[in-house]
Amino acid sequence: MPPAAELWNEARAREIAETFANTKGGLLPALLAIQSAFGHVPGEAVVLLAEVFNVSRAEVHGAVTFYRDFRERPAGRHVLKLCRAEACQAAGSVSVAEVAKRRLKLGWDETDSEGNWTLEPVFCLGLCACGPAGMLDGTPLARLDGARIEKLIDGAAE
Ligand code: FES
């Protein structure tokens, strides 16, 4: 299970942002550090980063929405990422994803109302030779099939 994120704290977020403020290209590492601390990049962080980096809010928001790894909302306690890129599709990822969606009762980029699970698509994890691939709470998964993904979901939920 991923570590619990801190609640939003502007002073802490400012401290993080200022760590990277004088670094060329520091916005992305600052966003990563904010997400690492708070579990997502809330709207308040976009405003704060724009101020600290002296860029527009649109520029910060653009970075958050361009890179799939950034989240604007908190994720569930468990995050299941399944690869949707070509090599994994050829190995059967579509049916694995259908099983996961049914089991979790979630679509792509959804989090259940209890905050237990988030299901996210990824587009290549570098595990193409042993697809279908995925990642559960940061642990890479290879050679997935329907039965295995159900077992992994059920095991993580216990
Ligand atoms: S295509 Fe799925 S890991 Fe590369």
pLDDT per position as a tens digit, 97-131: 999 999 999 999 999 999 999 999 999 999 999 99
Q: What is the pLDDT of residue 4?
A: 60
- With 60 as the cut, is the pLDDT of residue 21 above it? yes
Within 10 angstroms of residue 1's Cβ, the number of other Cβ atoms is 9
- With 60 as the cut, is the pLDDT of residue 89 above it? yes
CA distance 87 to 60: 33
- With 80 as the cut, is the pLDDT of residue 141 above it? yes
Please tell me if the CB atom of residue 88 comes closer than 6 angstroms to any atom of ligand 1. Answer: yes
CA of 136 from ligand 1 middle (Å) equals 15
CA of 88 from ligand 1 middle (Å) equals 5
Residue 45 CA to chain centroid, in angstroms?
17
Mean pLDDT across the stretch 40-68? 96
Q: Which ligand 1 atom is the nearest neighbour of the CA of 127?
A: 3
- With 60 as the cut, is the pLDDT of residue 132 above it? yes
Q: What backbone phi and psi angles, to 5 degrees, belong to 118?
A: -125, 135
Mean pLDDT of the chain: 94
Q: What is the pLDDT of residue 158?
A: 73
- Per-residue tokens: 84: 């949707």
Q: Which has more confidence, 157 or 47?
A: 47
Partners of residue 141 on adjacent β-strands: 134
CA of 148 from ligand 1 middle (Å) equals 18
Confidence class for position 3, pLDDT limits 50, 70, 90: low
For a pocket test of ligand 1, which of 81, 120, 128 has the largest count of ligand atoms closer than 8 A to its C-beta? 128
Domains of the chain: residue spans and CATH:
10-66 (no CATH), 78-157 (3.40.30.10)
